[in-house]
Structure 1
Amino acid sequence: MIAMLKNRSFKYMVVLTVSAFTLQSCFVAKDYVRPQVEETQNLYRTDALPTDSLSMADLSWKELFTDPYLVQYIEQGLQNNIDIRVAIQQVLSAEAYAKQGKAGYLPTLNGKASITHQELSKNSQLGSFLTNRSTDQYELTGSLSWEADIWGKIRSNKRATDADYLSTVAAHQAVKSRLVSDIASTYYQLLALDSQLEITKRTVMVRDSSVSTIQALKDAGNVTQVAVDQNVAQYNNARAIQVDLETAIFQTENVLSILLGEHPRGYARSILDDQHLQTDLKLGVPTLLLSNRPDVIAAEYNLVKAFELTNVARSNFYPSLTISATGGFQSLELDQLLNARSFFANIVGGLAQPILNQHKIRTQKEVADAQQEQALLEFKRSLLVAGNEVSNALYSYTAETEKFKFKNLEVEALRRAEQNSNDLLKNGFANYLDLLTARQSALSAELNLIDSKLKQLLSIVDLYQALGGGWK
């Protein structure tokens, strides 16, 4: 008896399954095709459009940054940074949903074991005729349900979860790229502050001695008390700048500690003059941003997800084929539960077509279409932002490189002016105001020269990140 029921159920299952796969030839779901984005042709605002298929973003950050201290700090940051660790957990969460999406093709199977005790009322229609109004029923059952993917709904759901996972991976890569850039930028800022502090300390020492010199000239009647007071003022001004720089170093080290995911402390480092980022600044063709920029990659995967969810919303207009089967054992006596006469089974296959559902399906489709269009616009915007960042970083590097030459000549000229003014003052051929002006101008120019050198380094770091470097 059991064998007959099993064979009959199996035949029904085979017929419905074959019918389902035959209907699958009528797929409604469309395949994603990357949209034509015209903006990629002119993303970079530069006179010389790049034609090279290579980009500096293809370099590993270990190839671009060679300072041993900086390399150590970047490695530490990639291990311990809180944002990185949060991004990893987001990747793991998306991976779990992706695994769930892959299981959409599989049937659901549930098992149940139950005992039912029933007491009939003496005054009930049935209870009034029965002597024994107390019954127990034992049941051991299993149920299986499977939906055929006729219109590609399950396939689209799977692709949507896969795209969501890959978008999260790209977002994690974007966090890595930004972190590498932030650590390098903060490190270079520390080196620049160190150089400015060294210059300021030397200036404080020189102005300290000049106060004594001016006081001697005043005692000799060569200058007035005004000159002495002005030199004292300049001396204290340099000391105030020193305090500001020491405060900035302290705070910048604290910023670095946050990036490295540890408690604040001081950090060993090299000097600014030893920093030389040797690179050809290859931009690569603009379309490389589609494969190098993690945020652009994430935006496209979000578009893929929205596209596939639109497929899902469209498939809801069509009938769904579901096959359900239930089987098991039922008995009023526990010792007869596994008896062949206690076995039961049924199989149901049916098509369900939505007719009236309060406009829900149409609303879902309209919302999905709007979200897909929004994802497309976000994708286009990410490309425009990427091109803008590349253009700004490239122009900034070119401008700072040119400005550094002029700043260097300015410093050399002001140093000579300061020395000449000092010599002339000692010999009575110059006014002390000339010396004070030359000194203040020389100090400002030297500090600005370091700032220009820092901006050169930062522009390369910005360009590297803008092109999508730092996560490989």
Structure 2
Amino acid sequence: MNTSKIIACGATLLLSSCGIYTSYEPQTSVPENLYGEEVAVSDTASIGNIHWRDFFTDPYLQELIEKGLAQNTDVQTAGLRVEEAKASLLSAKLAFLPSFALSPQGGVSTVEGSKASHTYTLPVTASWELDIFGKLRNAKRQAKAAYLQSEDYKQAVYSSLIANIANTYYTLLMLDEQLEISRHTADTWKETVESTQALMDAGQADEAAVSQMRATYYEVENSVVDLEEQINQVENSLALLLAETPHKIARGRLSEQRFTPSLSVGIPIQMLSNRPDVRVTERDLEQAFYVTNQANAAFYPSVTLTGSAGWTNSLGEIITNPGKFLASAVASLTEPLFNKGTLIARRRIAKAQQEEAALTFKQTLLNAGVEVNDALVSFQVSRKKNENYEQQIVSLKKAYRSTSLLMENGNTTYLEVLTAKQSLLSAELAQTANRFKEIQSLINLYQALGGGQDL
């Protein structure tokens, strides 16, 4: 190996050690027990890898999600951000090529009593910065990371929108079922009021019982009206997600919903590739890494080649026609001398921002782990409570029937009937809310594991 090659290799190693030519190394580890110690993570399968069309099988919901992905303004904005980042990456790539410019000039000069002389110059100038110290290379890598980040951000918007539409849709189904229960209860109470009125007419009940029953009936009627208002508001919220004006939403029933029986969460390392918001924060870290490289490269000189070629009829003092071909070439080297303090400050800022990005990335991973744990535990608790609600409702129905018969035979008071019916209504409404919570926690778990991307 000759001396020039040794010098070249030594310079490359030196510059690499200074953080100019080094490349970003992707993150390959996550905090231990990211999902919590009680969550089994041996299975590599994850429900987050299921496509949303296979996860949400309700045809009404599938249609709403497709509309949302096509029409939602946040999705469209994310798409525009991708186009902006793509243009920035193209600009960074073109910076490696020389730039050309046509700079025509012309003039007329005369001395008193003499004939005017006309001069012109038609040069094409070129400038080419040689990327010896990696400034352009690091700028291009930063732009590429920004472009990939915009793609990840778009996927994060997809995932969030799909989860929001699904949660809002199932909120509607829950309110529909609660409205149906409340209407049925109101009809039952109306019959009870009429029965109590008949007992009073027969001398087996007093006016206080009839008044209390009637007051409870109106209370249930008010809850029906409140539920109808809530349904209208949720429909409007769903219309906003679809970027549409308020309208009625076609939908199924809560009792008809079916989901995958598998609840595998996968191994935590999959978070690095599955969750788009985690990828977004890592892209921030990658960009900060290349900004630091650029700050290091700023301490080294810039080498620029410039030149021009064209035609002119003006060569010094001599005016000639026709024009002659003119060419020139210059190489320049610019070395920072008096702004070293500014460059040092910029490098410190870049390093601090890189450390901030690393902390943000770590916190995003921790947040993701907590979201998985919260959703999984919430789902398991809802499942257990649902079994209890079923048994509770069976018991309360028996209690209501028994107290109603006893009141008709004069062996109990209307207050016991009132209490039994109100308890049954509360339990039925709570069971519906718990079923919704079970579905909602499943949706949140799906999103927390990176599901819902439109890939």
Q: TM-score range by the shorter chain?
A: over 0.9
Shift of 1:358: 6.3
Q: Which runs of 5+ in 2 are unaligned?
A: 1-6
Q: CA deviation at 1:20?
A: 10
Matching of residue 62 in structure 1 with residue 56 in structure 2: no
Distance 2:384 2:432 in 1: 14
Match of 2:261 in 1: 279
Residue 200 to residue 38, structure 1, CA distance change in 2 (3 Å): closer
Per the normalisation by structure 1, the TM-score is 0.89
1:165 aligns with 2:169: no
> Does the 8 Å CA contact 2:30/2:365 hold for their aligned counterparts?
no
Alignment deviations for residues 72-112 of structure 1 (CA, whole Å, 9 cap, x no partner) = 11011000011101111111111110111111211111112
Q: How does 1:322-471 map to 2 (within 5 A)?
A: 322-331=304-313, 339=322, 342-357=324-339, 359-471=341-453
In structure 2, the CA distance between the partners of 1:46 and 1:419, relative to structure 1 (3 Å rule), is: farther
Q: Deviations over 1:277-330 (max 9, x none)?
A: 123111111110100100000111111111011111100101121111112111
With over 3 angstroms needed to count, the CA separation of the structure-2 counterparts of 1:149 and 1:30, relative to structure 1, is: same
Name the aligned partner's letter for residue 399 of structure 1: V
Instruction: After superposing the two structures, state which structure 1 stretch, 370-379 or 130-139, moved more.
Output: 130-139
Among 84, 89, 94, the residue aligned to 1:103: 94
Equivalences for residues 224-243 of structure 1 within 5 A: 224-243=206-225
SS of aligned partner of 1:322: strand
Secondary structure (helix, strand or coil) at the match of 2:103 reads: strand
Total equivalences in the alignment = 441
Distance 2:321 2:428 in 1: 94
Indicate yes or no: 2:74 matched with 1:83.
yes
| Among candidates 163, 185, 197, match of residue 203 of structure 1 | 185
For 1:45 and 1:211, the matched residues in 2 are separated by 54
Residues 426 and 21 of structure 1, relative CA distance in 2, 3 Å threshold: same
Flag the 1:71–1:468 CA change in 2: closer, same or farther, 3 A.
same
Q: What are the ranges of 5 or more consecutive residues in structure 1 without an aligned counterpart?
A: 1-18, 120-126
Say which SS state the counterpart of residue 138 (structure 1) adopts: strand
Q: Secondary structure at the match of 1:105?
A: coil
The alpha-carbon deviation at position 427 of structure 1 amounts to 1.2
Return the alpha-carbon distance in structure 1 between the equivalents of residues 114 and 403 of structure 2: 123
Shift of 1:161: 0.2
Among 176, 180, 184, which residue is 2:166 paired with? 184
Using the TM superposition, name which of 240-249 and 401-410 deviates more. 401-410
Give the TM-score taking structure 2 as reference length. Answer: 0.93
- Give 1:294's match in structure 2, choosing from 259, 276, 279: 276
Cα offset for 1:136? 2.7
AA paired with 1:76?
K
Residue type of the partner of 1:42?
N
Contact 1:20 1:148 in 2 (8 A): no
Coordinate RMSD, CA, aligned: 2.1
Residues 192 and 272, structure 1, Cα contact 8 Å, conserved in 2: yes
Map 1:30-179 onto structure 2 (within 5 A).
30-35=22-27, 37=29, 39=31, 41-118=32-109, 131-132=113-114, 134-179=116-161
Deviates more, 1:67-76 or 1:276-285: 276-285
2:292 corresponds to: 310
1:20–1:97: structure 2 CA closer, same or farther, 3 Å change rule? farther
- Report runs of 4+ in structure 1 exceeding 4 Å deviation: 19-27, 35-38, 336-339
The equivalent residue for 1:14 is: none
Which residue in 2 is equivalent to 1:123?
A: none
> d(CA) in 1 for partners of 2:212 and 2:402?
19
State the distance in 2 between where 1:202 and 1:338 align: 104
Task: Describe the SS at the equivalent of 1:196.
Answer: helix
Equivalent in the alignment of 2:251:
269
